[in-house]
Amino acid sequence: MKKILIMLFFLNGMCNLYAGSSGYHGEAAEAAHKIEEILIANNMCQIVKVSLQGHKYNDCSNKELFFSSPEYDGFGITTYGITDKKALSEIAALLKSEYARHNGELSVGLRAVRITFDEYQQKGLLNRLWLKLTGDLIIYKVKFERKEK
């Protein structure tokens, strides 16, 4: 019984440590919503349903065009298969404005992968590593680093 309690205590501490490592889930979700609007405006996604309350549902997540990920010092966006320079520039401008809106107190990054997420997943691990090492995978990359206090 004592071993079980120690394990539970340890696991609880690890979960709290991991959960506390990033406070930027809200910022990442807000940026993701704005990116969906950019993709709709650039005809990469479309609105598929409008609720009675006026909430618009789109097909961006089904297409797996991008993913947002909170990080310990901010958040990152990775796009897959978006090669349109106008759309990528608009996403980069949005992330730059988010960085400025938070006075540089968080890091914000964008990586644009030239192939779709499905194509990326179908490649083997070694092939994906080779693409990363050769730089043949990323077509656009920008990072706004958090300012030190």
Q: Where are the domains of the chain?
A: 23-144
Mean pLDDT of 1-20: 46
Q: Which is it for strands 107-113 and 56-58: parallel, antiparallel or unpaired?
A: unpaired
CB 95 within 8 A of CB 104: no
pLDDT at 137: 83
pLDDT at 130: 79
Q: How far is CA 64 from CA 3, 19, 67, 79, in A?
A: 43, 25, 7, 8
Compute φ and ψ for 17, nearest 5 degrees: -65, -45
Q: What is the pTM of this model?
A: 0.77
- pLDDT score of 19 more than 60: no
- For the chain, the first-to-last Cα distance in angstroms comes to 46
pLDDT at 127: 78
pLDDT in tens, 72-118: 899 999 999 999 999 999 999 999 999 999 999 999 999 999 889 99
DSSP E strand stretches across the chain: 47-50, 56-58, 66-71, 74-80, 107-113, 138-144
Lowest mean pLDDT among 19-28, 67-76, 89-98, 126-135: 19-28
pLDDT at 24: 86
pLDDT at 113: 92
Q: How confident is the model at residue 132 (pLDDT cuts 50, 70, 90)?
A: confident
